Amino acid sequence: MAVVWAVAGIFLYVAPPADEPKHADVLFVLGPPDQRMVYAERLMQQGYAPTLAVSSPVDQHGRYTADICGAQRAYRVICFHPDPFTTQGEARALKDLSDQYGWKSANVLTAQFHVTRARVIVSRCYEGDLHMVADRRGLPLISWAYQYLYQTAAFVKVAIHPGC
Q: Tens digits of per-residue pLDDT, 78-98?
A: 999 999 999 999 999 999 999
| Residue 160 located in a structural domain | no
| Residue 114 located in a structural domain | yes
The b/e string for 72-99 (b: 16+ C-beta within 10 A; e otherwise) is eeeeebebbbbeeebbbbbbbbbbebbe
| Residue 155 located in a structural domain | no
| Residue 4 located in a structural domain | no
Average pLDDT over residues 141-151: 86
Q: How many domains does the chain have?
A: 1
Q: Give me the pLDDT at residue 7, please.
A: 67
| Residue 7 located in a structural domain | no
Q: Give me the pLDDT at residue 114, please.
A: 93
Tens digits of residue pLDDT in 13-39: 777 889 999 999 999 999 888 889 999
| Residue 8 located in a structural domain | no
| Residue 69 located in a structural domain | yes
Average pLDDT over residues 121-139: 94
Question: For residue 119, what is the domain's CATH number?
Answer: 3.40.50.620
Q: Tell me the whole-structure pTM to 2 decimals.
A: 0.90
Contact criterion met (CB below 8 Å) for 23 and 47: yes
- Mean pLDDT for the chain overall: 91
| Residue 158 located in a structural domain | no
Contact criterion met (CB below 8 Å) for 44 and 52: yes
List the domain range (segments joined by +) for residue 53: 18-138
